[in-house]
């Protein structure tokens, strides 16, 4: 049954669906559920069927790129258009500016330029000499 199920999902149409789900941000367990298999079978398919693994990878790369672009945009600020209604009832497009998100900027530089921006932790090492004397033990044996 498992091989039959896998073969059903290794055609171009089904692989495109798997890739689509990954593009939409579904995680592996959600995709497994959509297919109707348990996560362990899903991970087995990823190892066993390169075309399945590649479809997932392709979809995830698109989703990751979209998130990276959104994070970058948020970190540096951006202009956008918004429709609003004037006092006279006219709908007009207004250009607005979203200020840079400092948290997004910090996250970006800590991960992209860690040698300059990662939180540094200084560790002070103190060396102490410990003297251990080993000698005869007085043990009373009754």
Parse the chain into domains and list their residue ranges: 1-112
**φ/ψ of residue 103, rounded to 5:** -60, -40
At residue 1, does pLDDT exceed 60?
no
Distance CA 141, CA 118 (A): 62
CA 131 to chain centre: 50
Tell me: pLDDT of 2 over 80.
no
DSSP summary character for residue 85: E
- In tens, the pLDDT along 118-141 reads 877 777 888 888 888 777 766 666
Are 54 and 22 spatial neighbours (Cβ–Cβ below 8 Å)? no
Copy the structure tokens of residue 121: 């932790």
Answer whether 70's CB lies under 8 Å from 50's CB: no
pLDDT digits (tens, 9 = 90+) for 44-79: 999 999 999 999 999 999 999 999 999 999 999 999
* Chain Cα centroid distance, residue 11: 28
Dihedral of the alpha carbons of 54, 58, 61, 67, in degrees to the nearest 10:
-130
Mean pLDDT of the chain: 90
SS3 assignment, position 135: coil
Q: Write down the pTM of the prediction.
A: 0.63
CA dihedral of residues 37, 38, 39, 40 (deg, nearest 10) = -110
């Amino acid at each position: 049954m498992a091989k039959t199920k896998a073969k059903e999902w290794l055609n171009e149409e089904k692989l495109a669906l798997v890739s689509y789900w990954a593009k939409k941000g579904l995680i592996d367990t959600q995709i497994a559920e959509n297919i109707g298999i348990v996560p362990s079978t899903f991970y087995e398919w990823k190892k066993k069927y390169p075309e399945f693994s590649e479809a997932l990878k392709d979809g995830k790369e698109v989703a990751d790129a979209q998130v990276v672009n959104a994070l970058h945009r948020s970190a540096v600020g951006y202009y956008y258009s918004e429709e609003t209604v004037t006092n006279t009832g006219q709908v007009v497009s207004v250009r607005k500016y979203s200020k840079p998100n400092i948290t997004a900027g910090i996250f970006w530089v800590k991960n992209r330029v860690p040698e300059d921006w990662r939180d540094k932790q200084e560790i002070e090492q103190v060396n102490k000499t410990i003297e251990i004397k080993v000698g005869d033990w007085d043990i009373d044996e009754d």
